Amino acid sequence: MSSKTGIPIWQVDAFSDRPFAGNPAAVCILDDFPDDQWMQSVASEMNLSETSFVVPTAEANSFRLRWFTPATEVDLCGHATLASAHTLIEQNQVDTSLPIRFQTRSGELRCVKAGSRITLDFPATPAAEDVDPIVAEQVCQALGLREATVLQSQFDLLVVVEDSSIVESLLPNLGALAEIKTRGVMVTAACRGSDIDFVSRFFAPRCGINEDPVTGSAHCCLAPYWANRLEKTSLVGYQASSRGGRVSCEIAGDRVHLTGTAVTVLEGRLLSKPTMETISTSTKITIAGTTRPYCG
């Protein structure tokens, strides 16, 4: 996709049906992966929660996919995967009658177009009740909560409160949250008397993201949690950030199907030419002794 006049890049608002809502992600389609530092520099320049880099494989409808925050590479990102699938569809790079297959650090991820929406097939990451009481107290203090249930998922802490109004009105101490050794902190509550089953917010200052507008991968934990408590397998989550966004969730065994829409808001070209250096998607990059978890 690169040319003498630059490398095409798009900005897409994911989990939204209108511009300037949902979660923005940049999408860059390349012939091959450049060196890591160039991709990290692009992600820093875009300054969005994630920038995705997409490279076609020799197989039809199959692509390698990597995600970078402004600070680091991550292992999984829901909204940037949705944005990538949306861009490939808009650019006529795929056969929409077949699944789009992404080869990633988290294994193969599949996306299917259904009308104006796209469904992502992601692994479920259920929460377990094994949080150190000291950590639970630190989290509650950082969030300004007197009482909450704190659980641990594969990469995040899940904080459950009594009412959706508590979620919406949170003013966390981001510096204190950044000190807690976890990818991010989800805060959630049931939403009664509406077509939305639960609300949430997601804070990840340790990953360089103070508050993520709509976090697809967080719903891989949120959906199983609320499915068990509400006794239903089809749910709708609303992430109550300033931009806001809806995520339709379907439990399918140990997988979660996340469905949403996306809107392209910007198209441009990168004039900085990368140094090419193919990196295996199975490679783990370690920063300060910690393998980077997934985000978004």
Residue 118 has what pLDDT?
A: 99
Confidence class for position 34, pLDDT limits 50, 70, 90: very high
pLDDT of residue 129: 79
111 pLDDT band, cuts 50/70/90, is very high
Q: How far is CA 93 from CA 60, 86, 88, 153, in A?
A: 9, 10, 5, 35
pLDDT, residue 130, reads: 78
Asked whether residue 35 carries a pLDDT value surpassing 90, the answer given is: yes
State the chain's mean pLDDT as an integer: 91
CB 10 within 8 A of CB 267: yes
What is the pTM assigned to this prediction? Answer: 0.88
**211 has catalytic annotation:** no
Three-class SS of the chain: CCECCEEEEEEEEECCCCCCCCEEEEEEECCCCECHHHHHHHHHHHCCCEEEEEEECCCCCEEEEEEECCCCEECCCHHHHHHHHHHHHHCCCCCCCCCEEEEECCEEEEEEEECCEEEEEEECCCCECCCCHHHHHHHHHHHCCCCCEEEECCCEEEEECCCHHHHHCCCCCHHHHHCCCCCEEEEEEECCCCCCCEEEEEEEHHHCEEEECCCCCCHHHHHHHHHHHHCCCEEEEEECCCCCEEEEEEEECCEEEEEECEEEEEEEEECCCCCECCCCCCCCCEECCEECCCCC
pLDDT of 278 reads: 42
pLDDT tens digits for 195-231?
A: 999 999 999 999 889 999 999 999 999 999 999 999 9
Question: Where are the chain's structural domains?
Answer: 7-116+261-291, 133-258
Structure tokens at 31: 């012939």
Whose CA is closest to 173, among 142, 209, 131? Answer: 142
pLDDT score, position 288: 30
Q: Which residue has the higher pLDDT, 119 or 272?
A: 119
What is the fold, at CATH topology level, of the domain defined by 133-258? Answer: Diaminopimelate Epimerase; Chain A, domain 1 (3.10.310)
One CATH from 3.30.70.3340, 3.10.310.10, 1.20.900.10, 3.30.465.10 for 7-116+261-291? 3.10.310.10
Identical fold at 7-116+261-291 and 133-258? yes
- d(CA 248, CA 235) in angstroms, rounded, equals 6
Query: Which pLDDT does position 277 carry in this prediction?
Result: 57
* Residues 53-98 pLDDT 10s: 999 999 999 999 999 999 899 989 999 999 999 999 999 999 999 9
Split at pLDDT 50, 70, 90, the class of 295 is low
Q: Give yes or no for a contact between 8 and 35, defined as CB atoms under 8 angstroms apart.
A: no
Active-site residue (options: 45, 50, 73, 179): 50
Is pLDDT at 237 greater than 60 in this prediction? yes
